[in-house]
Structure 1
Amino acid sequence: MPKDTPRPVLRIGVLGCADIAVRRILPAIVEHPSVRLVALASRDGARAERLAARFGCAAVTGYKALLDREDINAVYVPLPPGMHHEWVTEALTAGKHVLVEKPLSTTYAQSVDLVAMAGRLGLALTENFMFLHHSQHEAVRAMTGEIGELRVFTSSFGVPPPHPSSFRHDARLGGGALLDVGVYPLRAAQLHLAGELDVLGACLRVDEATGVDVAGSALLSTATGVTAQLDFGFQHAYRSVYALWGSRGRLSVPRAFTPPREHRPVVRIEQQDRLTEVTLPADHQVGNALDAFASAVHSETVRASLGEALLRQALLVEQVRKAARVVSG
């Protein structure tokens, strides 16, 4: 496609009315110039009608009925992780490009299946790690020379307990802290550390009543001995940070994963006799994530690189789970 030729607008349908969709994704789709919200589906027809009226699109009862619509060429899937493999498969089979909430699936084998399927069909498959699309992370990479040779990467993402009815407490729906919040520090470690990461050890604390992990930690290492110390859970006060500790200083990002659109990130650089705080421009990571999805739809090269990243992430998550010491608590 010539550079001056406008891209066709993506016509998006939404499978499910999850909170993340209502609060963050649907408003961003409505205002985005490259995508158009066509319809949203719920198994509860009345709920679909209410939200469709709010966001100015068609209401559909049932996910399959939405996938059968010919006026949609892409779908956003915010369903619980345990439903991702089934409905991403259905969406790809229906010829739709797919933006799916993290994690792509609950197992590495399922992720391999989905990535291979999208590749065969020439369709975009994107995991919605919105934080990756905030400009603060590129700015951080440009500042790493200030801290010398990297020695340690640390990251924590913790949130207060979800509502008791949340899918996060249901193992059958892919609940648990590793898949819900632990994937963020893992993905951030892959973003900032070169090469493949080995899992040296991990621990998962499992709630006896629900059988899902509610907190955990992992220790990773690069081939050159740079370590990553990661913590996560949803029995915590809110914390969303990462830091790079080097031979001459430490660089920290205190609002790493969920900065609001209007938030101006502050990056801290701590050196021997100096503390520097750099205030960065606000950025709209949700809108940027939609841009990235549109780019994947229109570029085979982008789709291939995304597929590789999806599988690296899924494999690392599975390795952490396999290596973890499980304790009750």
Structure 2
Amino acid sequence: MTHDHGTPPVRVGVLGAASIAWRRVVPAMTACPDVDVVAVASRDPRRARRFADRFGCAAVTGYEALLERTDIEAVYVPLPAALHHTWAARALAAGRHVLIEKPMATTAEEARELTALAESRGLVLRENFMFLHHPRHRAVTELLRDGRIGRLRMLHASFCVPPLPPDDIRYTLGLGGGALLDTGVYPLRTAVHFLGRGLRVTGATLRTRPRDGLDLSGQVLLAADSGVLASLDFGFEHGYGARYALWGDRARLTADQTVSPPAELRTQLRIEEQDREERLLLPPADQFLACVTEFAAAIRGPVASRGTGRDPWHADAVATLELVDAVRERAVRVPCEGDGPQNA
């Protein structure tokens, strides 16, 4: 998207000096002509200053102080999951558009409250699932629509990463830690993306830390209203892997590196039939830049489209967290004695 010089860039404040903001999102914002990063807030003045020095913006101590600034119209929230609802609600109440790290909240009820608040105030609220902005997934949708793999029967999706550093906040139960809310929401969101919102959890297993029940990995089985089945894997205990496969009655389509492919990478899709295999090479794409560009476009787009209660991004965020809630309720928990950091 080229910047319309008659439209000023969206003035954004970053609420929290998180790693994902430093590595991925704020660099994408500074590369986007439609966004102007005005300030970064942290409870630690040194962290705020480090961001400010790198990205050429103001350093703010404390999150409330950021929301009090009059030169910010949108807020990016990369805080731990348990803080998403509180600070997104405060930002929306302060009249700011919000881009919030995934998942939008820790429960479907929290997500419903946030989407209702955004709609009631005519504000843009987006969940930062960056992978959905990679054009490869549109290509997959078109192949499905064209019948390339026949009638869809199954979806398999996985996102697993190696164990995290012992002091990582994702090992802290009180901050919304655990694999389900971190890596698990990716395959769940993939299922919602391709199969729609009418999904039921038909089975789930979570490997948990005995001393506090924190989930370190898991599996989920889903059934769509259409009869398509899905099996999902996620966790903090594996060699890195991020992929999905859509299996039809004619062929199987597989995509690898589905969560955060490098912007310069030419991604590929593999289509396997009984007696032949086809590989489709797709052009590189920067999903991080595409995500922040879309957020800015939604803010600068028609205000009349907001507050309708029909925003598909909102509905999909709620549907994904409804699945999270159902997994928590239905999961068989398998204690994994001795696994996971002991000093987290």
TM-score range, shorter chain: over 0.9
The amino acid across from 1:67 in the alignment is L
Q: Deviations over 1:275-327 (max 9, x none)?
A: 11111000010011112212332345367232222211221221122111112
Taking the aligned partners of 1:288 and 1:322, their CA distance within structure 2 comes to 35
Equivalent of 1:313, from 320, 324, 328? 320
Secondary structure at the residue paired with 1:204? strand
Q: 2:229 aligned with 1:227, yes or no?
A: yes
Q: Which residue in the other structure is 1:18 paired with?
A: 18
Cα pair 1:169 1:210 within 8 Å, conserved: no
Q: Which residue in the other structure is 1:127 paired with?
A: 127
The amino acid across from 1:257 in the alignment is V
TM-score when scaled to structure 2? 0.92
Note the residue ranges of structure 2 that are not aligned, 5 or more in a row: 337-344
Q: Which residue in the other structure is 1:291 paired with?
A: 293
Secondary structure at the residue paired with 1:126? strand
Q: Which residue in the other structure is 2:342 paired with?
A: none
Taking the aligned partners of 1:64 and 1:224, their CA distance within structure 2 comes to 46
Do the aligned partners of residues 28 and 306 (structure 1) sit closer, same or farther apart at CA in structure 2, a change above 3 Å counting? same
Secondary structure at the residue paired with 2:148? helix
Taking the aligned partners of 2:109 and 2:31, their CA distance within structure 1 comes to 36
Taking the aligned partners of 2:6 and 2:319, their CA distance within structure 1 comes to 33
Do the aligned partners of residues 28 and 116 (structure 1) sit closer, same or farther apart at CA in structure 2, a change above 3 Å counting? same
Cα pair 1:253 1:268 within 8 Å, conserved: yes
The amino acid across from 2:179 in the alignment is A
Taking the aligned partners of 1:28 and 1:34, their CA distance within structure 2 comes to 11
Q: Deviations over 1:96-116 (max 9, x none)?
A: 100000011111111111111
Cα pair 1:296 1:302 within 8 Å, conserved: no
Q: Which residue in the other structure is 2:85 paired with?
A: 85
Q: Deviations over 1:145-176 (max 9, x none)?
A: 22111110000100011111111111100000
Cα pair 1:133 1:288 within 8 Å, conserved: yes
Q: Which residue in the other structure is 1:55 paired with?
A: 55
Q: Which residue in the other structure is 2:258 paired with?
A: 256
Cα pair 2:192 2:316 within 8 Å, conserved: no
Total equivalences in the alignment: 327
Do the aligned partners of residues 326 and 65 (structure 1) sit closer, same or farther apart at CA in structure 2, a change above 3 Å counting? same
The amino acid across from 1:191 in the alignment is H
Q: 2:140 aligned with 1:112, yes or no?
A: no
Q: Which residue in the other structure is 1:102 paired with?
A: 102
Q: Which residue in the other structure is 1:240 paired with?
A: 242
The amino acid across from 1:241 in the alignment is R
Q: Which residue in the other structure is 1:301 paired with?
A: 305
Note the residue ranges of structure 1 that are not aligned, 5 or more in a row: none
Cα pair 2:12 2:75 within 8 Å, conserved: yes
TM-score when scaled to structure 1? 0.96
Taking the aligned partners of 1:5 and 1:22, their CA distance within structure 2 comes to 27
Do the aligned partners of residues 276 and 302 (structure 1) sit closer, same or farther apart at CA in structure 2, a change above 3 Å counting? farther
Q: CA deviation at 1:195?
A: 5.0
Taking the aligned partners of 2:266 and 2:238, their CA distance within structure 1 comes to 25
Secondary structure at the residue paired with 2:105? coil
Q: Deviations over 1:43-100 (max 9, x none)?
A: 0101211220111000000111011000000010000001111111111111110000
Taking the aligned partners of 1:96 and 1:61, their CA distance within structure 2 comes to 19
